[in-house]
Amino acid sequence: MRALRDHLDVELVEVSFPATSRLRAAAADTLWYPRLRAPRGAELLHCPTFRGPFRPDAPVVVTVHDLAVLRHPEWFNRWTATYSKLAVPRVVRAATRLIAVSEFTKSELVSLLAVDAGKIRVIPNAVEDVFSVDGPRADGDYVLAVGTLEPRKNLARIARAVDGELRVVGAKGWGGIDPPPNVTWLGDVTDGELAALYRGARCLVYASLYEGFGIPVAEALACGCPVVTSRDSPMAEIAGGSAVLVDPFDVESIRDGIARANAAAPRRGPSWLEVAARTRAVYEEIA
């Protein structure tokens, strides 16, 4: 948003319904999002997730990060799984253009929701400038895992695969996932602290069972941190040969991957300005 507004001269008006409680979240899902309208005079509405209007009154761009809630509803609470099964196909169908954050997510839209591939534009995420090789390094000999504590992050298998200290960064999530007893759980940290953890780690292990992108992989690569991640995944797409690929369902495969992880040349993806420019190009297609 900053890049669109400050560097590409796009006039933005934000609309939101803060979901500060479960009741307000339910109200947003059932009453606000389905009836969402573009502000008066706006040329289009951009929904940065697949929460959006069912019957829009203006051209709509929807960013889709992943379809985990449709592919694996058992990983989510009953409300999210049930509502998403109803809402996501309607929002996707109503959109004029869809932005997928990876080729993998594009393929999921086509295979799960029968979306015309010509309606989809692939624009990967960027990472913040703080994620670079320059800067402080955290002390210690440790393996790092990053992600909200939820079922698809595969934390139990990762913990069993690590010989030595495993540090875990991420907020408490859902699905009854608690940090295993043999890990150092750091909870949420600042971007600066996370960058220092990437720089100091033996490697990042991001052996998730399902993702649409995998931002920690992009952040780690930008910091020069060796990466171990899931094969046949968008993370492999992001890494472009700069990561060790493993079977996320096999503890021994993850353990072997950690043993084989070596530092690679830092790899940066697109900048936020490049992402914004490609997003503006999508706007211009339909405005």
Which of 19-28, 61-70, 130-139, 154-163 bottoms out in mean pLDDT, i.e. has the lowest? Answer: 19-28
Tell me: the pLDDT tens digits for 31-54? 999 999 999 999 999 999 999 999
Give yes or no for residue 263 having a pLDDT over 80.
Answer: no
Residues 79 and 162 in one domain: no
Q: What is the mean pLDDT of residues 160-186?
A: 90
CA atoms of 47 and 36, how far apart (whole Å): 10
Q: Is 109 domain-assigned?
A: yes
Residues 276 and 242 in one domain: no
Q: What is the mean pLDDT of residues 275-285?
A: 97
Residue in the block written with tokens 């190009």: 281
Arithmetic mean of pLDDT over the chain: 94
Q: What is the mean pLDDT of residues 74-101?
A: 95
CATH code of 164's domain: 3.40.50.2000
Which pLDDT band, with edges at 50, 70 and 90, does 268 fall under? confident
Residues 277 and 252 in one domain: no
Please state the domain count of the chain: 2
Output the six-digit token pair for 246. 């493993």
Q: What is the mean pLDDT of residues 236-258?
A: 95
Residues 76 and 158 in one domain: no
Give yes or no for residue 167 having a pLDDT over 90.
Answer: yes
Q: Supply the range of the domain harboring residue 92.
A: 2-126+272-286
Q: What is the mean pLDDT of residues 99-107?
A: 97
Q: What is the mean pLDDT of residues 144-158?
A: 95
Q: Is 137 domain-assigned?
A: no
Q: What is the pLDDT of residue 180?
A: 83
Of 13, 15, 96, 27, the closest CA to residue 55 belongs to 96
Rg (C-alpha) for the chain, rounded Å, is 20
Which pLDDT band, with edges at 50, 70 and 90, does 238 fall under? very high
Residue 227 phi, psi (nearest 5): -125, 135
